[in-house]
Structure 1
Amino acid sequence: MVTFEGVTKRYGDAANPFVALDGVDMTVGRGAITGIIGRSGAGKSTLIRLVNGLEKASDGRVVVDGTEVGQLNETGLRGLRREVGMIFQHFNLLSSRTAFDNIALPLEIAGFDPAAIKAKVVPLLDLVGLGDKSASYPSELSGGQKQRVGIARALATSPKLLLSDEATSALDPETTQSILALLKQINAELGLTVLLITHEMEVVKTIASHVAVIDKGRIVEQGPTFDIFTAPRHETTRILLSSTVGTNLPEWLRTGLKAAPSAGDRILVRLTFFGATAFQPLTAQLVTEIGGNVNILAGAIEEIAGEPFGTLVVAYPATPDVLARADRFYAATGLSTEVLGYVA
C-alpha cells in the first residue's frame, strides 16, 4: 500500500540543514497493521506526514497505492487525502459541532448532500460504538469517546489507508485497549491498511502485524512484529523493548551477577518459549534431566502479535556435569536459551 524509496527529509537551509529522515526504505503491506516505533525526535511523525502530503520529501519517492505523492498538485493531494484517513493524539475535534457533525465534516467538504451524509455517518457512529452519542458535543464525551469520533471521521470518506499519530497516548490504559480493539476490528472488517506511529511498545505488541524501528531518521530494523520483538538485532530496538518484552531481573539479583563463575556458583539462564516449545512441559523435563536443584527466579507469559511468548529465568549449579546435561537437553529440545551470568 505504501512504499518509501530512499526518502530523505531536510529542514533549514543549505548552510545549516537538519536531516529528519535519511534514506528511508520501507514498505507497508496492503491490509496489514504496521507500527513505527522510535524515540522522541527519531523521525516518526515526519515519516507519517509524508504519506498524505502534509510534508514533501527532499529526496526519494513516497508511493501510496501506486501514486507518487511528491508529484501531486493541490487537486491531486485533495483526492489522495480522501483515500488516506488520519487520527490524532489530541482528537482535533471541533468543539462547536456534535459528534455527528464532526464525522460529517469531510463529507460536507467533499460536497455530499445531507441525505448521503446521514446514510454514511449513522453506520459509522454504530461501528465505533457511539450510536447514542450522535448529538453530543466533545465537551460531553470522554477521551475514549472523542477518539472514537476521530476514528469515525477518518473513515467517513471510505479511505484505503488509515494513519494513526500517537492516537492512544492521551488515553488511560483501559481506554487504550478499547481503541486498539476497535482498530483491529476495523482492519479485519473493512480490510483497511493501518500505519501507526507510537512510543508505546504495548500498542505495537497488541495489534501490529509488522513493525519498523526508526532511529535518527533511519529505519534500523523492520519485519514481522513477533520476530522483531522476540529477537531484536539492533541495539536501539533492544533498548526500546527492554522493559516491555520478556523477564526483567530484580535489581538485587542483577547487581550480583558475575561474568565468570567461581567454585560453588550457580548459573542464571533465561529460557524462551515460543513456537513448538510454547506448550511443552520443558521446565519439568529440565529438572528431571539435571536434578532437582533448580531455582525458578522470574518468569512471564505474554502474547505478541497474537502468538504466545514466554520467558523463565532459572538457576542451577555451574558444575561441569550439570552444565553438560543442561546443554544436551537444550540441544535436543530446541529450547532457546541465554546465559545471563553467575551468582554466588
Structure 2
Amino acid sequence: MTFLHTAVETAPSPLAAERPMVAFEAVTKRFGGADDKSQFTALDGIDLSVARGAITGIIGRSGAGKSTLIRLVNGLEKATSGRVVVDGVEVGALSENGLRDLRRQVGMIFQHFNLLSSRTAFENVALPLEIAGLSAKAIRDKVVPLIDLVGLGDKSDRYPAELSGGQKQRIGIARALATSPKLLLSDEATSALDPETTQSILALLKRINAELGLTVLLITHEMEVVKTIASDVAVIDRGRIVEAGRTFDVFTGAKHETTRSLLSAALGTNLPEWIRSNLKPQPSVGDRVLVRLIFFGSTAFQPLTARLVTELGADVNILAGTIEEIAGEPYGSLVVAYPADPAVTERAARFYAATGLSTEVLGYVA
C-alpha cells in the first residue's frame, strides 16, 4: 500500500485533465540527409492523441513506423517536423537536462527485458533510483512494494539468469515504475513470451493502469494484445495513421484494408484457402453468397442465426465464427453462405434491416 500512496500524485488541475497525455501534431520523421538519395520517411504527418489514464495501442506490420513513433515520446528520436507534446511539454524543444527530467516521468518496458545480468532483481529495479541519487533507505522503501506489486516478492535476490521470461518482464515493469512515471511505454513487451505468460503480463498492466491511473502507450503487431487490454487503438501503415478510435469501434467496423487484414485472424474469421481463392465479386446463376454477420451491442445475445434460417427458407451453411470480448465488450462474428438468388438475398436484407444486424458481403462462390 505504501507504493500506491507514493506513486499516485495529487489530483491534476482541470487543464491537465482536459489535455491528452501525449499529442502528435503533424509529426514527420525522416532518416538520412536532405540530399541523401537513400533518405527514408519513417513517419509522415502523424496526428494522434493519447488520452490521459487510457491504455492506447499502436498496431501495424513490421516496418510500419511503430518503434520510431514511440521513441519520439521519450526523446530518443527527434521529429524532423511537427510537434510531440507530453503532458503539455514539447519534447523536441527540451534541453538535455529537460530530457532527463522527462524520462523520469516516462517509464519504458522492452521486448527483451534489458536487465543487467550482474544485478539481482532488487538491484535492477533500484538502478534508476540510484542514478537519481536516493538514499539506500528511500530506495528500499520504494523497491520492496514495487516487487510485491508485480508478484515477485520472493525473487528479490535472484539474478536474471534464474528467472523465467515472464518473471524478467515483471521485473522490467517494476523498474519502469520506480520513478513514479506518469506514462508507461511498452515496446513489443510480450512478443518474446508464450501465450499464457503474455496473458499474465497483460493482466498486470491492466491492474497497474486501473490502480495507479497510469497512462499506457503500447506498440505491438499482436492483435490479441490490443484486443485484450487497449481501450483505444491506432493503426499505422507505411508511416501514416490509417485508422484510429475506440478499440471496439475499430475492431468491429474497420474501414481501411490494412486494418481488416491485420484483424482477420484476430477475430477468428479466416476462411479456408480453397474458399478464399474461389470468391468472386459478382454472382452467377446457382452461386452462393458469403456474408459475415457481426454481433455486438443489442444483437450480441439474440438468437438471430436461427431466425435468419427460418426467415430465408433456404439452406444456410456456417463456414467460420467466433464469440469473444474486445476491450471488455461482447463480440461475435459468423460467416454464412446461402443461395445468391435475388428473392433470398432480398429477404435477408429485410431481416438485417429489421434486426439491426451488421453484415458484410465477402463475395460469391459456385
Q: Same fold (TM over 0.5)?
A: yes
Aligned to 2:347: 325
Which amino acid is the alignment partner of residue 184 of structure 1? K
Listed as ranges, the gaps of 5+ residues in structure 1 are: none
Q: Give the equivalent residue in structure 2 for 1:194.
A: 216
1:206 matches 2:228: yes
Aligned residue identity for 1:35: G
Q: What CA distance in whole angstroms lies between the structure 1 residues aligned with 2:151 and 2:264?
A: 35
Confirm or deny: 8 A CA contact 1:100 1:121 kept in the other structure.
yes
Partner Cα separation in structure 1 for residue 360 and residue 31 of structure 2: 44
Q: Distance in 1 between matches of 2:274 and 2:171?
A: 47
AA matched with 1:2: V
Equivalent of 2:133, from 105, 111, 134?
Answer: 111
1:244 aligns with 2:279: no
Assess, with a 3 A threshold, how the Cα gap between structure 1 residues 130 and 9 changes in structure 2: closer, same or farther. same
Any idea what SS the aligned residue of 1:132 has? helix
Q: Secondary structure at the match of 1:303?
A: strand
Equivalent runs, 1:83-162 vs 2, <5 Å: 83-162=105-184
**Structure-2 change in CA distance of 1:249 and 1:102 (3 Å):** same
Cα distance change, pair 319–217 in 1 and its aligned pair in 2 (3 A): closer
1:29 aligns with 2:51: yes
Q: CA deviation at 1:312?
A: 1.2
- RMSD, aligned α-carbons: 1.4
Aligned-partner SS, 1:271: strand
Taking structure 1 as the reference length, what is the TM-score of the superposition? 0.96
Residues 126 and 328 of structure 1, relative CA distance in 2, 3 Å threshold: same
Query: Offset at 1:67?
Result: 0.9
Q: Deviations over 1:118-174 (max 9, x none)?
A: 111111011001000000000000000000000000000100000001111111111
SS of 2:270's partner is coil
Whole-angstrom CA distance in 1 between matches of 2:104 and 2:91: 13
TM-score, reference length from structure 2: 0.91
- Once residues 8 and 257 of structure 1 are traced to their aligned partners in structure 2, the CA distance between those partners, rounded to angstroms, is 39
SS of 1:90's partner is coil
Deviations 1:31-77 (A, max 9, x none): 00011111212211111111111111121111110111111111111
CA drift at 1:246: 4.4
Query: How far apart are residue 269 of structure 1 and its match?
Result: 1.8
Once residues 112 and 338 of structure 2 are traced to their aligned partners in structure 1, the CA distance between those partners, rounded to angstroms, is 51
Greater displacement, 288-297 / 62-71 = 288-297
SS of match in other structure, 2:70? helix
The answer for the alignment partner of 1:54 in structure 2 is 76
**What SS does the corresponding residue of 2:217 show, helix, strand or coil?**
strand
Give how far 1:343 is off. Answer: 3.0
Q: Structure 1 residues 322 and 14 mapped into 2: Cα distance closer, same or farther (>3 Å)?
A: closer
The 8 Å contact of residues 37 and 44 in structure 1, kept in 2 or not, is answered as yes
Instruction: Name the SS of the counterpart of 2:362 in structure 1.
Output: strand
Moved more, 284-293 or 146-155: 284-293
Q: 2:30 aligned with 1:10, yes or no?
A: yes
CA deviation after TM superposition for structure 1 residue 260, in Å: 3.2
- Bigger shift: residues 299-308 or 249-258: 249-258
Q: Deviations over 1:215-251 (max 9, x none)?
A: 2222121111111112212222222223222412222
For 1:202, give the aligned amino acid.
Answer: E
After alignment, is 271-280 or 285-294 more displaced? 285-294
Q: Distance in 1 between matches of 2:283 and 2:44?
A: 45
The CA deviation at 1:292 is 5.6
Percent identity for Structure 1 against Structure 2: 81
Residue in structure 2 matched with residue 295 of structure 1 by the alignment: 317
CA distance in structure 1 between the aligned counterparts of 2:286 and 2:194, rounded to whole angstroms:
48
Q: Is the 8 A contact 1:230 1:245 kept in 2?
A: no
Corresponding position: 1:234 with 2:256: yes
**CA displacement at 1:306 relative to structure 2:** 1.0
